[in-house]
């Protein structure tokens, strides 16, 4: 699996074969699209906003850091890199209000967790349909509308919204479902 480095990417995980990569050709940092690269670059820059490769960078452990993720050591006045066991925060607000970034990036575990969540949701939806639980089905449609919107499916967002708003009534004749 390949993980897009942009933490705000709606898809995040991709099969290597689907994006034309192999395990050996996977770069250290990979973005799924130019938009994700631009968004990721905007967020990961130091406070100086300069791309410098001559100075080591340190990562803020706050996943919600508003100042960026990576900082040049001289910009934050560090003399040496913190050890892997130490948590380093760029400012006091990150230390007190932040969500600590995971030190390990086990992509297989994260993908398995996301897949399990998706499978459990599908099982619950299937049970709601099987038991003819109308309010339960509508509740999942509402959740799915967010996913459809985030993944740029406006046609289905409009249809789902009309279904929830009651503009369309579904009829089921035992074989087909009609609007």
Do residues 35 and 4 both lie within one domain? Answer: yes
Q: Quick check: helix, strand or coil at residue 129?
A: helix
Do residues 64 and 83 both lie within one domain? Answer: yes
pTM over cut 0.85? no
Domain that includes residue 74, residue range: 45-104
Decide if 147 contacts 156 (C-beta within 8 A): no
The DSSP letter of residue 57 is E
Do residues 111 and 172 both lie within one domain? Answer: yes
Do residues 140 and 85 both lie within one domain? Answer: no
Q: Identify the band that residue 4 occupies on the pLDDT scale cut at 50, 70 and 90.
A: confident
CATH number of the domain to which 92 belongs? 3.30.40.10
| Whole-Å CA distances, 176 to 123, 169, 173, 179 | 21, 14, 6, 10
Q: Identify the band that residue 176 occupies on the pLDDT scale cut at 50, 70 and 90.
A: low
Listed residues 104, 126, 147: the one ending a domain: 104
Confidence at residue 97, expressed as pLDDT on a 0 to 100 scale = 76
* Closest C-alpha among 42, 36, 35 to residue 12: 36
Phi, psi of 12 (to 5 degrees): 65, -50
Confidence at residue 165, expressed as pLDDT on a 0 to 100 scale = 75
Do residues 19 and 79 both lie within one domain? Answer: no
Furthest CA-CA distance within the chain: 73
Do residues 54 and 36 both lie within one domain? Answer: no
Each residue's pLDDT tens digit, 19-72: 888 878 877 778 888 888 777 655 556 777 777 777 888 888 887 777 777 888
Q: How many CA atoms lie within 13 A of 153 on its CB side?
A: 12
Tokens of residue 145, six digits: 């509308």
Do residues 174 and 117 both lie within one domain? Answer: yes
Burial class of residue 14 (count of CB atoms within 10 Å of its CB; 0-12, 13-18, 19+): middle
CB neighbours of residue 62 within 10 Å: 23
Total tally of structural domains belonging to the chain: 3
């Amino acid at each position: 699996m390949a993980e897009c480095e942009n933490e705000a990417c709606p898809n995040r995980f991709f099969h290597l074969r689907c994006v034309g990569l192999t395990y050996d050709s996977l770069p250290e940092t990979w973005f799924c699209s130019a938009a994700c690269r631009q968004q990721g670059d905007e967020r990961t820059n130091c406070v100086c906003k300069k791309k410098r490769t001559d100075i080591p960078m340190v990562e803020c452990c706050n996943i919600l850091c508003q100042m960026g993720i990576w900082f040049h050591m001289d910009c934050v006045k560090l003399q040496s890199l913190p050890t892997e066991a130490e948590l380093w925060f760029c400012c006091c607000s990150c230390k007190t209000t932040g969500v600590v970034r995971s030190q390990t990036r086990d992509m297989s575990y994260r993908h398995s967790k996301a897949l399990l969540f998706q499978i459990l949701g599908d099982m619950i939806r299937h049970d709601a349909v099987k038991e003819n639980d109308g309010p339960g089905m509508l509740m999942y449609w509402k959740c799915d509308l967010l996913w459809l919107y985030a993944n740029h499916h406006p046609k289905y967002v409009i249809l789902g919204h009309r279904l929830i708003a009651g503009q369309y009534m579904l009829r089921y004749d035992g074989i087909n479902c009609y609007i």
